[in-house]
Structure 1
């Protein structure tokens, strides 16, 4: 059982979540989506692995689906409808509201959930064009007063945009750890805000999902894999260059007797007591493997090896 926990911030400072959360995008960002049976078993496994009184941070999105875009929300509604006892075991965060019409978007999300689970937190998807953070958080606060949801988060923001919110979601992994990332983590820790770290495995690259560029070309293409081909780091020359970092991390993990995925998740988790990695998983075995990462202790020697690998095998290409 996972034992490490983290505390959220702001108005959710009384909420204790497991140190490893669960990103849900890939359950439905594929065609066909994962079956309800497999997805539900994965969700249950993660929440059943937590200590009593602890919630699992579940990260969904308004648009995390192919057909329809709201497929992830609808999957969650079916899950909580059939498993109502799990509603209190989950802290549900929805990424969305990417347009200025915030109220319409919030109401859309609530309608898709059908009252099966209280919406705990909403994050505007990055900075809303033409709307300042101050404006959007004031609008969100009105929705909280109307009891539409309980807490506010932010996504993809810089450290100098610190606000009394409950969580800030940013990408963090051994190949996505810039000075700006460090500043956000440091500032959030000072302000008592949780950092929700998405893509801790570099979209699967650092976990060894692909061993060569040909693997990416020949794989049974999912929409997400196809999308990755457009990313700079996944272009052929950059891909081949970046394999060196993935190989180095895998060697460190093998020596420690864990998987490369667990090494990356444990490393992200080690960046602060307020940092909650949210690796994606659609199947029970992988969910439990991810959750077990929260109990892995990285020694000073481990951390130095990882840091050296990141310094020697620098990443080529931008994130998007």
Structure 2
């Protein structure tokens, strides 16, 4: 592959970023440990070299440790990177008081919490502004307008360049955009999570808003790397319905179909899965996560893969996965 990947405009008047971004969550949170992991700073440095310039983190990853890691890795590279982080989730704890990465965090979209969260992220990332700051989830107890209003204060103060939201419905997006322009929407999108194709994705296209898919590789499943559902107790997938043994075995049929297409392109299953996501629109910038430079390079190469209309149709027709998303 050429050294730097092609770029896409993240939102209508926003920065040009690599067509593939980097989700940093798994470097410290949700997927346990991996003896094959490379140094996170080296992974992020290689990402910048490749043109994988959208980095995504959150205060809840760790909690807090992921932002510190990313901030340290950005030393001397800040101007090369479009930095995204999030606030508005609170980590759930085990009985012993330690964070429990196997349980979904709880939302806190209150203005006071978000104001504190922005300042905390700036401090941990060691930056004077955040390019894209997401409300990590809507809080059912707090009006969307109040949460977005607090983030708009951050924009006016120069702490945030653009506001993003994650996992918002179209109705919530309309309400949010009435308070302040939205730069990007982050939601799950992959060959086994296609909920947003007819709703959020078209809304973003109509409104000049970027769409940033998380888990575009199905939390690693679509890479074909797993043939058995064996995950450690600290791995989020150990309790995820789609990774339970019976569902897992049924879902292997999806991977088999992706691998068959990949063989025709002399590509990997991961590259085909990412190429399908990229084909959903020029405003789409997926953020696959990895802790290994080799996987980063593999993912980045997907930006150059163009699937035929026939193969895209075959992938579109894949069955829904067995098991719910969470």
TM-score when normalising by structure 1: 0.87
Correspondence list, 1:166-181, <5 A: 166-178=183-195, 180-181=196-197
**What is the DSSP-based 3-state SS (H/G/I as helix, E as strand, rest coil) of the residue aligned with 2:211?**
strand
- The number of aligned residues is 296
**What is the DSSP-based 3-state SS (H/G/I as helix, E as strand, rest coil) of the residue aligned with 1:154?**
strand
User: Structure 1: how far apart are the matches of 2:163 and 2:80?
Assistant: 19
**What is the DSSP-based 3-state SS (H/G/I as helix, E as strand, rest coil) of the residue aligned with 1:276?**
coil
Tell me what 1:56 maps to: 53
**What is the DSSP-based 3-state SS (H/G/I as helix, E as strand, rest coil) of the residue aligned with 1:157?**
coil
Tell me what 1:139 maps to: 150
CA offset digits 1:18-77 (Å, max 9, x no partner): 110000011111555889972112112121112xxxx71110010112xxx211111112
Q: Which has the higher helix share?
A: 1
CA offset digits 1:282-315 (Å, max 9, x no partner): 121111111110111111122122123x1xx331
CA offset digits 1:138-169 (Å, max 9, x no partner): 11111111122211000001123232200000
TM-score when normalising by structure 2: 0.85
User: Structure 2: how far apart are the matches of 1:109 and 1:198?
Assistant: 20
Please tell me the root mean square deviation across aligned C-alpha atoms, in Å: 2.0
Q: 2:120 aligns with which of 108, 111, 114?
A: 108
Residues 278 and 285 in structure 2, CA contact (< 8 A), matched pair in contact too = yes
Residues 290 and 296 in structure 2, CA contact (< 8 A), matched pair in contact too = yes
Tell me what 2:139 maps to: 128
Aligned CA distance change for structure 1 residues 134 and 318 (closer, same or farther; 3 Å): same
**What is the DSSP-based 3-state SS (H/G/I as helix, E as strand, rest coil) of the residue aligned with 1:292?**
helix
CA offset digits 1:165-204 (Å, max 9, x no partner): 00000000000002x4431111100100000001011001
Deviation at 1:8, TM superposition (A): 2.0
Tell me what 1:287 maps to: 296
Deviation at 1:235, TM superposition (A): 1.5
CA offset digits 1:124-149 (Å, max 9, x no partner): 11102322222211111111111222
Tell me what 1:301 maps to: 310
User: Structure 2: how far apart are the matches of 1:49 and 1:114?
Assistant: 23
Stretches of structure 2 lacking an aligned partner (at least 5 in a row)? 90-107
Residues 68 and 125 in structure 2, CA contact (< 8 A), matched pair in contact too = yes
**What is the DSSP-based 3-state SS (H/G/I as helix, E as strand, rest coil) of the residue aligned with 1:93?**
strand
Tell me what 2:161 maps to: 150
Tell me what 2:47 maps to: 46
Q: 2:228 aligns with which of 183, 195, 212?
A: 212
**What is the DSSP-based 3-state SS (H/G/I as helix, E as strand, rest coil) of the residue aligned with 1:212?**
coil
Residues 27 and 33 in structure 1, CA contact (< 8 A), matched pair in contact too = no
Correspondence list, 1:234-245, <5 A: 234-245=243-254
User: Structure 1: how far apart are the matches of 2:34 and 2:164?
Assistant: 27
Stretches of structure 1 lacking an aligned partner (at least 5 in a row)? none
**What is the DSSP-based 3-state SS (H/G/I as helix, E as strand, rest coil) of the residue aligned with 1:107?**
helix
Tell me what 2:72 maps to: 78
Residues 190 and 216 in structure 2, CA contact (< 8 A), matched pair in contact too = yes
